[in-house]
Amino acid sequence: MTLHRRDVVCELLKDRGDLLVIAGLGSTAWDITAAGDTELNFPMWGAMGQAAMMGLGLALAQPKRRVLVITGDGEMLMGIGSLATIGVQQPANLAVVVIDNERYGETGMQRTHTADGVDLTSVAAACKFRHSITATQDVAAVRQLVYRSAGPNFATVKVADDKLPLVLPPKDGVLLRARFRRALLGSSADVLPEER
């Protein structure tokens, strides 16, 4: 059974509790928005390659919260070194899930390196991620890595190269930053850490 990206992301974010979510630019930002835009989503509109590192920074700052990075294969390939950086830090509360359609979806569906067999799951395993899996049939095991198993965890979810309607989140970066911090930190978001 072929998986479809919007179904996969909806299933991953179902009953998400207090999960913190970063999405890489492009299709995965639209996917998390289609699943329901919330303040604890940070969809990126740029800075390609930095989604996993934003997840690392957030996971280090919030060790008691689960952090999920959902990004595309092209975005992950651009920041592939960050897998090594995360492997060194070993954040137990971080999961990185690549929605892999083997295409650059925003620029004309050109093939990415994963279309020619480059295996991000193996890269993550070699970078000392605690669990690293590839899902092709269902996402139950991926949910386990996101919500329960100690990380850092990585999953590639192979999906069809569907071209879907855009579901756009807010694009004002200041709004996205401020709403996320308010929702996470409460009123203390408005003062510096030493003043809390």
Partner 1 sequence: MQPDWPLEIHRELTAAGVTVVGYVPDAGHKRLIELCQADKRMRAVPLTTEEEGIGLVAGAWLGGEKSVLLMQSSGVGNLVNVLGMIKVCRFPLVMIVTMRGEQGEFNPWQVPMGESTARVLETMSVAVRQAGDAQTVAGHVHAAIGLAYETQGAQAVLIAQRVIGIKSFQEQRNQ
Reference 70, options 54, 82, 57; nearest CA is 54
For residue 2, the minimal CB distance to partner 1 (Å) is: 32
Tell me how far, at minimum, the Cβ of 56 lies from partner 1, in Å.
6
Q: Return d(Cα 46, Cα 51) in angstroms, integer.
A: 10
* Beta carbon of residue 104, minimum distance to partner 1 (angstroms, whole number): 16
CB-wise, 6 or 33, nearer to partner 1? 33
Give the contacts of 148 (CB within 8 A, at least 6 positions apart): none
Judged by beta carbon, residue 4 or residue 182, the one nearer partner 1 is 182
CB-CB contact of 89 with 146 (8 Å): no
Name the residues that contact partner 1, by CB under 8 A.
20, 22, 42, 44-62, 79, 81-82, 84-85, 88-89, 173-174, 176-177, 180-181, 184-185, 188-189, 192-194
Hey, which residues does 72 pair with through a beta bridge?
A: 99
**140 vs 174, beta carbon nearer partner 1:** 174
User: Which residues neighbour 181 within 8 Å (Cβ) at sequence distance 6 or greater?
Assistant: 189
Tokens of 155: 């999953």
In whole angstroms, how close is the CB of 32 to partner 1 at the nearest point? 15
Q: Which is nearer to partner 1, 167 or 185 (CB)?
A: 185
